[in-house]
Amino acid sequence: MGPANETELAELIRGANGPLDLRGGGTRVAWRPVRGEVVSTAGLSGVHLYEPGALTLVVGAGTPVAEVERVLAEKGQRLAFEPMDARKLMGTDGVPTIGGLIAANVSGPRRVQAGAARDVLLGVRFVDGAGQVVKNGGRVMKNVTGYDLVKLMAGSFGTLGVLTEVALKVMAVPQAEATLVARGLGTAEALTTLRAALATPFDVSGAAHAGFGGGETLLRVEGMAGSVAYRAERLRAGLCAGWDLVEGAESAALWRAVRDVAALAGSGEAVWRISTVPGRAAGLTAALAAGGLGHRALYDWGGGLIWLGVPAEGDGGAAAIRAAVQAAGGHATLVRAPEAIHDRVPMFQPQAAGIERLAAGLRARFDPKGILNPGLMGGRTREVAA
């Protein structure tokens, strides 16, 4: 179903008694533990307010990301968190929406410098599981009026409510960008250099390494032209001696590939997204390999984000990966897998009992009928849900 506006969506949810499968463009999370009636927010589209001089954009949650980017580009601005386009990796073909991005808290390589999707989310309107329209936050940069449900909604994957409108802080597109490129570095050495670069005052806005296929290591700086040249030079004079320099469109293309995890697109592997302590990333993947897990790893955020492609068999590496991540600190999300694996592996890393109790309590309060993407978060599998 595709409600045309917030009121229709609220009526629909008030009247619903069975599970709902809530979607923006349906490009990111293909799997659901409980099959439900599909509800698309694509009808809730449109720019409600745009003030370039205040860096503020308010849009309907169903607005296509491409439309948001087009509107911003006209004024030389953009979404600073560099959201990935998941379609190639996931093999999906819908139209990505801004609400879907926010519901999944999708952040790309610039996360290390500009923050996550949740960090630029200023306000939300949503329909909760009882069909009530709730607002929180606003459209100003600083707002501590009451509880920050804005953050809670980001990354809640529709389980606490269906976003209808989001207010975002946007940023200017900088004059220039440059990327330093090294080839053939070992993972440990590459990540050590990336971390060291992130600890310089040179405002690095991208730090990625491919652990396979000839392994490029990338460092990006952005800003005013003179400043970019200066910082790239300082890095090449020190940490990155001998690295190549790539600028402009060529640099941007490198980062689109990192952002969209292009190197794992189209393969038959199961794909994991791991958030961990950057300095423990190399050890984590090495231990998994030593334990017999064949994998291909891409590293972003200086090692803080690992994309892991593993053979799509058995549990897709779930037991080994989740145990290793638990030990190192962080969490692992099963992003892409055949149904057979998805059905027996919870998508999100199981959490400590006390935390899961709070999360379950929140879901029960915001979705008393248990109909909003039921079971998607909270460690359930289809086997358990069925």
Q: Please report how many Cα atoms fall inside a 13 Å half-sphere around the Cα of residue 135, on the Cβ side.
A: 10
Contact between 236 and another protein by CB under 8 A: the answer reads no
Contact between 380 and another protein by CB under 8 A: the answer reads no
Q: Which of 11, 37, 51, 250 binds another protein (CB under 8 A)?
A: 51
> Distance between CA atoms of 308 and 306, rounded to whole angstroms?
6
Q: Which residues partner with 275 through β-bridges?
A: 305, 331
Residue 9 Cβ vs another protein, minimum distance, rounded to whole Å: 15
Q: Which of 65, 149, 264, 270 binds another protein (CB under 8 A)?
A: 149
Element housing 102 (H / E)? helix 98-103
Binding characters for another protein, 83-122, by CB under 8 A (x = yes): ----------------------x-x---x---xx-xx---
Binding part of the chain for another protein, among 60-68, 88-96, 237-245, 273-281 by CB under 8 A, reads: 273-281
Contact between 276 and another protein by CB under 8 A: the answer reads yes
Contact between 195 and another protein by CB under 8 A: the answer reads yes
Contact between 25 and another protein by CB under 8 A: the answer reads no
- Residue 196 in contact with residue 157, Cβ under 8 Å? no
Residue 202 Cβ vs another protein, minimum distance, rounded to whole Å: 8
> Distance between CA atoms of 190 and 183, rounded to whole angstroms?
9
294: tokens are 């064949």
Q: Which of 1, 38, 66, 76 binds another protein (CB under 8 A)?
A: 76
Nearer to another protein, 77 or 164 (CB): 77
Residue 120 Cβ vs another protein, minimum distance, rounded to whole Å: 9
What is the b/e burial string over 363-372, where b = at least 16 CB atoms within 10 angstroms of the residue's CB?
beebbebebb
Q: Which of 17, 142, 237, 268 binds another protein (CB under 8 A)?
A: 142
Residue 13 Cβ vs another protein, minimum distance, rounded to whole Å: 14
- Which residue's structure tokens are 């989001």? 166
Q: Which of 69, 257, 333, 385 binds another protein (CB under 8 A)?
A: 333
Contact between 188 and another protein by CB under 8 A: the answer reads no
Contact between 135 and another protein by CB under 8 A: the answer reads yes
Q: Which residues partner with 123 through β-bridges?
A: 137, 167
Q: Which of 1, 199, 340, 384 binds another protein (CB under 8 A)?
A: 199
DSSP E strand stretches across the chain = 20-23, 37-40, 47-51, 56-60, 77-78, 121-127, 133-137, 162-169, 171-172, 176-183, 204-210, 216-223, 244-247, 270-276, 296-300, 305-310, 330-336
Q: What is the CA radius of gyration of the chain?
A: 21
Binding part of the chain for another protein, among 13-21, 156-164, 182-190, 235-243 by CB under 8 A, reads: 156-164
> Distance between CA atoms of 127 and 161, rounded to whole angstroms?
5
